[in-house]
Structure formats: C-alpha cells, structure tokens
A = this chain, B = another copy of it.
C-alpha cells in the first residue's frame, strides 16, 4: 500500500466516488456532455513511480468545458520545493485530492471551482480545500445561496468567518489592483483539528456540500436568455481567470512543479477567452455592477445587498 495509513487510502477512495457522482449529476443536466477519461501515471522527482490520477475532461453544451480530476501522488519531491511546502529535511510526499472547474456556456451561469485535498509530508498530514464562485451576471440571490450553503456547512467547525476571509484573500489578481477572480466562497489550508480519521471525515463531509452549493444555480440559470454583451463580459472575465490561474494560483504551480500532468492541471483554463487593452464594461451597465462584486463583501448581510 502506498498510502501512509488506511485513512489516507479511505480519503482517496471517497474522492473517487465523489468524482463519479459529480460527473453523473452533470451528465443528467447536459445529455450530450463529452467525458474524456484519462487515467495517468507519473514519476516522482527521483524518477520512481509516483502514483497518478484520473482526469475527466468535460465538453458539452451546458458545460462548455471543464474538468473533474482526482489524483493520488507520492514519492520524492524536489527538495527545494519540499522546503517551500514546509517540509524542511523531509521530502517524502503523499497527496490525494479532487479538483473541479466548470466553465458553463451560458454567461448567466457562474463558473465554479472546488478542491479538497489531503497532504502528507514526512510524518505530518494536513487538509486543504474550498469552493469559490465566479459569476458574470449579478444574480445576487445565487451568490447568497452559494455563500449560505458553505456558511452552514462550516457552522459545526466555527470556521466560516476565517475561511470566507481566506477565500477573499486568496483568489485575488494582485496585479489588477486587488480585484478578486470572482465572489469568493471558502478556502482553507494546513488544517487539522482532531484525530486523522475525524479530520478526514470532516473534510469529506464538507466536500459533499459542493453539489448542493452549485446545482440549484446551474438548474435555475442554464436555459436563461442572454445577449452579446453578457457573452463579451464573460469572455473578458475568463481572461482574468487565466491571469489568476497562471500568475498566482498555488495549486497550478504545485502541480506543474511536482511533475503533475500538464493537460490535467491546465484543464482549468477556459475554452474561449478574450483579452483587450483596458477593456471594461459600459459605465452604468449591469456588468459594471457585477465588477463591483469582485471585492470582499458579506453576501449574507441583508443590509449589504
């Protein structure tokens, strides 16, 4: 067994099961959804077998493109990279997780990202993850649903305020004057609280809140009429998504530097994108209002919305 303990192995199997259920839920909503499944193996920093993953790349009419990936990797890390991760002197890694990105075709449906992971470096194990929403249209009721779902999910842990703030702080294009990628959600890293088994249960229970946080929004909006301005704004904001993922995202850097599979990692990039010099939505437009939403805000404060 390559996992450090049965709990690590159990976490891996649970996220594989979640991957199955997510893809089924999407296929039910997008009957023509093309699912390309690629199991892959990787080698570690020393060139030895180092686990791998199961990529499912999606392409459809409701979900224009996306990916639901599970990976379980292990073995030697580049020592310089292990040190950055906080494992000075110990470069033996085991990490398993699920990550998802969906880029819907309809600009009225938000892009969504989710990730839950369990990482062991040497004899220390921790968890990380979260979910964040990137809308292109100010359907603020949808944002409240997403935030409320994650607030309620984290209520037993008492971590909502901290994890909501961490998400606001993480998904930021620092080079764009601190503009957020979307409207946030939850984000946590280096998390431990109880025994290993208890904490794995907690994180797996959290991961079950992804579908209820997103599917009602997808169902409500996927057939909503949209116009050319909506689409232009979505393509522009997808450009910001690319900027964040390639310039700032630690998950992308972790993957590319730990000898991950490039196509699996960059399945996160949107299918069609535009970049434009000083592009901005028309002043006073609904999209200009959406721009104001890409700043930290308490979407659950009835006074604020």
Residues of A at the B interface (CB closer than 8 Å) are 36, 38, 57, 59, 65, 67, 175-177, 239, 242-243, 246-247, 256, 262-263, 266-267, 269-278
Contacts and interface: CB of A to CB of B under 8 A. Distances in A.
Contact of A36 (B59, B242, B278): B278
A267 B276 CA distance: 7
A278 B266 contact: no
Contact of A57 (B242, B247, B269, B278): B278
User: At the interface, is chain A mostly helix, strand, loop or mixed?
Assistant: mixed
Contacts of A175: 256, 262
A272 B274 contact: yes
Nearest to A59: B277
Given A59-B277, A256-B175, A278-B57, A243 B272 contact: no
A263 B277 contact: yes
A249 to B, nearest CB: 11
A134 to B, nearest CB: 16
B246 A276 contact: no
A298 B38 CA distance: 36
Contact of A267 (B67, B256, B277): B277
B262 A176 contact: yes
